[in-house]
Structure 1
Amino acid sequence: MAATSGASPFLAGSIKLASAAAANSRGNRYVSFSRRMAVSTDHNISSTTSFTENGRWLPEEEKRKKQNRRKEESELISNVYGNPDEITEENGKKLKDFFEECKDLIKSSDGGGGGDGDGGGGPPRWFSPLECGSRTPDSPLLLFLPGIDGTGLGLIKHHYKLGKMFDMWCLHIPVKDRTSFTDLVKLVETTVRSECKRSPGRPIYLIGESLGGCIALEVAARNPDIDLVLILANPATSFNKSQLQSLIPFLELMPDQLFLNLPNMLNSVSGDPLRMAWENVVKGLLPLQNVGVLSEDILGMPSYLSVLADMLPRETLLWKLQLLKSASASANSHLHAVKAQALILCSSKDQLLPSQEEAQRLRRILPKVAIRFFKDSGHFLFLEDRSDLVMSIKGASFYRRGRYLDYVSDYIPPTPYEFKKLYDSNRWIFNATSPVMLSTLEDGKMVRGLAGIPSEGPVLFVGYHMLLGFELAPLVLQFLMERNILLRGIAHPMMFVKLREGRMLDLDTFDHYRLMGAVPVSGPNFFKLLSSKSHVLLYPGGVREALHRKGEEYKLFWPEQSEFVRMASRFGAKIVPFGVVGEDDVTELVFDYNDQMSIPSLRKFNKEVTDEVVQLRTDANGEVSNQDLHLPGVVPKLPGRFYYYFGKPIETAGRKQELKDREKSHELYLHVKSEVERCMAYLKEKREEDPYRNIVSRLLYRATHGSKAEVPTFEL
């Protein structure tokens, strides 16, 4: 959204902010501002369109095929994921925007921009950023509780994306305001209770940074019966262990004149030792992550130093540090009463607070906690270019619109820029394996690419699970790039929840799968995906197939009885069997489950890991019931190539009654299984004819034809 002209690009029109204490009606809770309307274009071809060719009407079947081709062409034209290299950064603001808008906000609230004229004092108040006006009607409420700066602009880089998911309000604490921690908590609590009464079925999100994290925890402790979701960025509950405490006596003794001249002195410092000394003094003053950024972004922009001085004059800074001290003590004394789920965002290089240790401590105390670490980030995480709050929320499965998370209806597909980040992190897989994807058209013809994949859902893809799921990233990403189709994978619950903390991988290992739409395996989730006409990815072999033993590559470990046919027929879903090969050309399995179980210490370790996750197929028989978790030992090979073959879609529409019969259902189940095996047998045979199966030959081809050239494969 573009801001209108006025005293501030952030607060357009009237600058007068609604008092948080008096915000009892929706009309006075927002800054008054105007919006530009966004218009979207629907590229879909109308289903009533008639087609003619050379003046004659086409036969019905030909018309349908032509319509499908045009629709597919339209999808390709409108596919925002089509070329990741051309995707640009999203409409987010930068650090300089933070300072510019802080300057205007401070000016407006001290009487210089049409505000209250209260000299920077007055009560704290809520405002809604201009660029957060694109939310949906069922968006949950998000309250941002700021850190030591108090401006409420700490999420400025994330407003645009957050505004599509939340009804977002930010708390502004004026520079000269001296509201106590207790009264700040009461202020936020009043708003929370009022909005809970207004929309009792929706959660309320409290995003707290530093000081705001303490406020969020205190509000949650005082309101255990309200559905709150806490997102805490480097919460100041560890203030008593931080170096910030030492600033309090220093500021009490520092003369006003020296403090007022601090910006100019910093700008004129030239000697490295002296510069570092001054920078260490102001680390606690500035909303920046490290000394390097301080030197580069602030000392290079003298005008912003005055903004910092206006934002945190000595008396205000001293008050804020004392406020942090009381906030930390109060929040810590009430942690035992917090029942809300919490996502802790922790910077590993926080120079102001021991945030990494504090996150682990809070994990042990709070009942429902998830942690995401940012190894290269400093204290003011949200102002860093590398942080993406929305991706963190979505990746941790922390976005919901109702009391309980619905993995299907609450899911929000990745934005183009989120997809680009996912693609870039997996680009090496594409470069190393140059995936070949083959599909089958309705007439049975095999083609290279995914043209044979049905555009309309529901579609159920059933196939073979490579060792450790090597095939997943190229598969899911290529579907989006080539056909604008999102594959919703049905995944093991270990990717979503742990029964207890222990030796199992942290859940953030699986964030990318959740971002791409994976859901925990369950009957209700399967039902919802098919009923919403999704493209669903299912591996009947599950963990046993993905963690197979030596010599078991390309062997299916499917249950004896069908698990998906009748559900698919209930919704008339097309079933697409597929096979993948190439794992034996990429790695060699050298240390499998059987090897590990012969070593007592590893046997104990694997049992402990298995006991930490939800167990599946406990009532099954045979090898498919062996769901023990372990990490296979593999040795990488000079990369070969991945091959995917999607067979002809199998129709279940109109067969609902027929497939209720167990024998008929099982017959179709066995047919799908045999098709998967046939696809793999074909690929194993044909890859022997591929002149570019070896990575060396592929690199030579791209060296002469361009780095983005599609490498040929065997003749179809």
Structure 2
Amino acid sequence: MKNAAARTEQIIDQPARVRALRKFAEVTADAIWPAIDLTLPYVDGTENLPRDGRFFLVGNHTQSGMAEAWLTCLSVRRTIGTRVRPLTERGMGSMPGLAGDLLAACGGVIGTPENATKLMENNETLLVFPGGGREIGKFKGEEYQLKWEGRAGFARLAIANGYPIVPVGHVGGDDIYHSLYTRDSLLGRLTERVSQAITGKPGMTMPLVRGIGPTLIPSPQRMYLRFGQPIDTTKPAGVSDGEWVETVKKTSQTALESILQELQGIRADDPFREWNPLAWRDAVRPEPVAS
């Protein structure tokens, strides 16, 4: 228990080597924004971010896997200057050596309740994808669908620590590749059986996909990101703990699904959605926020 407590403390008081890498990561992040701006990522809703940095970002994973995490973290840093602490699955968060140090320097933390609580006690900004890896492998027709079955831990943590939830939706990553068949097809069921036999993890199946034409070259796609309005997690009087956890989870999911639907509508009318350089000047831009 003592070693576990020490590891939890280190997510706040990070080792010197990680602090040095953090400075390097921050300088690099600031330096690459001009290059990112050339791709015109569509980012709006930043006015919804609490300026004290004390909030819990809850988002959706896409087939790109990490693009949504990086764009979210960079956008928050650019807007309010806060480092985001993504909650990662245990395998990624436990990587040894330089890879693990780099992830920690960028804010990554194994997503345990103890670690999340420690970060919240320190008023840090957190990011979680409740669907986890189950949302990365998309069969045909599953684009931008949330897979939150049995995942209410984020709501429980936010309520316990008085953290508002900010839903953040990402569109574009599920258009980089396209699955060749549906989950309930013969090939889909066979793929699921083979994947489960190999990994032992149901729901983590990676279907056969294509990128540009019939190849595996990723299709270039513009990224769309929207931060929703904060969701108050303060429990009303007369509501049981279990009921309130479920209410906060459903409210967050509904808000995120609405954001994804809105962003898909914006993408559908955007001539620059596939990075056509001739359409760069005509790309859809977020409407300016009224002062």
2:117 pairs with 1:524: no
Classify 1:561/1:510 alpha carbon distance in 2 versus 1 (closer, same or farther; 3 Å): closer
Classify 1:403/1:438 alpha carbon distance in 2 versus 1 (closer, same or farther; 3 Å): closer
- Please report how far the alpha carbon of residue 684 of structure 1 lies from its aligned counterpart in structure 2 after TM superposition: 1.0
Q: Decide whether the 8 Å contact of 1:497 with 1:507 is kept in 2.
A: no
Aligned to 1:280: none
Worse overlay, 685-694 or 460-469: 685-694
Aligned to 1:663: 243
1:639 to 192, 213, 220: 220
2:277 pairs with 1:680: no
Deviations 1:107-144 (A, max 9, x none): xxxxxxxxxxxxxxxxxxxxxxxxxxxxxxxxxxxxxx
Aligned to 1:490: 87
* Structure having greater relative contact order (Cα 8 Å, sep ≥ 6): 2
Equivalent AA in structure 2 for residue 417 of structure 1: F
Q: Decide whether the 8 Å contact of 1:586 with 1:637 is kept in 2.
A: yes
* Residues 432-451 of structure 1 mapped to structure 2, 5 A cutoff: 433-439=39-45, 450-451=46-47
Aligned to 1:335: none
CA distance in 2, matches of 1:532, 1:587: 39
Classify 1:507/1:489 alpha carbon distance in 2 versus 1 (closer, same or farther; 3 Å): same
Question: Which runs of no fewer than 5 residues in structure 2 stay unpaired?
Answer: 212-216
- Please report how far the alpha carbon of residue 497 of structure 1 lies from its aligned counterpart in structure 2 after TM superposition: 3.3
2:50 to 447, 450, 454: 454
2:72 pairs with 1:469: no
- Please report how far the alpha carbon of residue 470 of structure 1 lies from its aligned counterpart in structure 2 after TM superposition: 2.9
TM-score (norm 2): 0.76
* Residues 573-652 of structure 1 mapped to structure 2, 5 A cutoff: 573-590=163-180, 595=187, 598=190, 603=194, 607-608=197-198, 610=199, 626-628=202-204, 630=206, 633-635=209-211, 636=217, 638-652=219-233
Aligned length: 275
Classify 1:592/1:421 alpha carbon distance in 2 versus 1 (closer, same or farther; 3 Å): farther
Q: Decide whether the 8 Å contact of 1:553 with 1:584 is kept in 2.
A: yes
Classify 1:493/1:668 alpha carbon distance in 2 versus 1 (closer, same or farther; 3 Å): same
Deviations 1:295-333 (A, max 9, x none): xxxxxxxxxxxxxxxxxxxxxxxxxxxxxxxxxxxxxxx
Aligned to 2:13: 410
Classify 1:548/1:598 alpha carbon distance in 2 versus 1 (closer, same or farther; 3 Å): same
Classify 1:638/1:559 alpha carbon distance in 2 versus 1 (closer, same or farther; 3 Å): closer
Q: Decide whether the 8 Å contact of 1:489 with 1:537 is kept in 2.
A: yes
CA distance in 1, matches of 2:149, 2:233: 21
Q: Report SS of the residue matched to 1:437.
A: strand
Equivalent AA in structure 2 for residue 569 of structure 1: I
Equivalent AA in structure 2 for residue 420 of structure 1: V
- Please report how far the alpha carbon of residue 471 of structure 1 lies from its aligned counterpart in structure 2 after TM superposition: 1.3
Classify 1:584/1:415 alpha carbon distance in 2 versus 1 (closer, same or farther; 3 Å): closer
Equivalent AA in structure 2 for residue 688 of structure 1: A
2:27 pairs with 1:420: yes
Q: Decide whether the 8 Å contact of 2:188 with 2:207 is kept in 1.
A: no
Q: Decide whether the 8 Å contact of 1:422 with 1:512 is kept in 2.
A: no
Equivalent AA in structure 2 for residue 651 of structure 1: D
Q: Decide whether the 8 Å contact of 2:271 with 2:279 is kept in 1.
A: no
CA distance in 1, matches of 2:208, 2:26: 29
Equivalent AA in structure 2 for residue 696 of structure 1: N
Q: Decide whether the 8 Å contact of 1:575 with 1:652 is kept in 2.
A: yes
- Please report how far the alpha carbon of residue 587 of structure 1 lies from its aligned counterpart in structure 2 after TM superposition: 2.8
CA distance in 1, matches of 2:209, 2:37: 23
- Please report how far the alpha carbon of residue 575 of structure 1 lies from its aligned counterpart in structure 2 after TM superposition: 0.9
Q: Report SS of the residue matched to 1:462.
A: strand
CA distance in 2, matches of 1:465, 1:599: 21
Classify 1:515/1:666 alpha carbon distance in 2 versus 1 (closer, same or farther; 3 Å): same
Q: Decide whether the 8 Å contact of 1:587 with 1:637 is kept in 2.
A: yes
Q: Decide whether the 8 Å contact of 2:179 with 2:210 is kept in 1.
A: yes
CA distance in 2, matches of 1:545, 1:700: 30
From the CA coordinates, give the structure whose radius of gyration is larger.
Answer: 1
Q: Report SS of the residue matched to 2:116.
A: helix
Q: Decide whether the 8 Å contact of 1:489 with 1:518 is kept in 2.
A: yes
Aligned to 1:551: 141
CA distance in 2, matches of 1:514, 1:591: 37
Classify 1:692/1:487 alpha carbon distance in 2 versus 1 (closer, same or farther; 3 Å): same
- Please report how far the alpha carbon of residue 682 of structure 1 lies from its aligned counterpart in structure 2 after TM superposition: 0.9
- Please report how far the alpha carbon of residue 584 of structure 1 lies from its aligned counterpart in structure 2 after TM superposition: 3.8
2:273 pairs with 1:693: yes
Question: Which runs of no fewer than 5 residues in structure 1 stay unpaired?
Answer: 1-200, 202-226, 228-399, 440-449, 499-505, 616-625, 703-710
Classify 1:590/1:424 alpha carbon distance in 2 versus 1 (closer, same or farther; 3 Å): farther
Classify 1:695/1:661 alpha carbon distance in 2 versus 1 (closer, same or farther; 3 Å): same
CA distance in 2, matches of 1:507, 1:592: 39
- Please report how far the alpha carbon of residue 452 of structure 1 lies from its aligned counterpart in structure 2 after TM superposition: 2.3
Q: Report SS of the residue matched to 1:667.
A: helix
Q: Report SS of the residue matched to 2:94.
A: coil
Q: Report SS of the residue matched to 2:126.
A: strand
Q: Decide whether the 8 Å contact of 1:581 with 1:643 is kept in 2.
A: yes
- Please report how far the alpha carbon of residue 437 of structure 1 lies from its aligned counterpart in structure 2 after TM superposition: 1.1
Classify 1:683/1:480 alpha carbon distance in 2 versus 1 (closer, same or farther; 3 Å): same
CA distance in 1, matches of 2:62, 2:153: 20
Aligned to 1:713: 285
- Please report how far the alpha carbon of residue 629 of structure 1 lies from its aligned counterpart in structure 2 after TM superposition: 6.2
Q: Decide whether the 8 Å contact of 1:458 with 1:531 is kept in 2.
A: no
Classify 1:657/1:534 alpha carbon distance in 2 versus 1 (closer, same or farther; 3 Å): farther
CA distance in 2, matches of 1:686, 1:403: 47
Aligned to 1:194: none
CA RMSD of aligned residues (A): 3.9
Classify 1:404/1:713 alpha carbon distance in 2 versus 1 (closer, same or farther; 3 Å): closer
Aligned to 2:78: 481
CA distance in 2, matches of 1:659, 1:510: 42
Q: Report SS of the residue matched to 1:543.
A: helix
Deviations 1:649-677 (A, max 9, x none): 11234x37666532233122211110000
Q: Report SS of the residue matched to 1:552.
A: coil
Equivalent AA in structure 1 for residue 146 of structure 2: L
CA distance in 2, matches of 1:431, 1:529: 31
Q: Decide whether the 8 Å contact of 1:585 with 1:637 is kept in 2.
A: no
Equivalent AA in structure 2 for residue 476 of structure 1: C
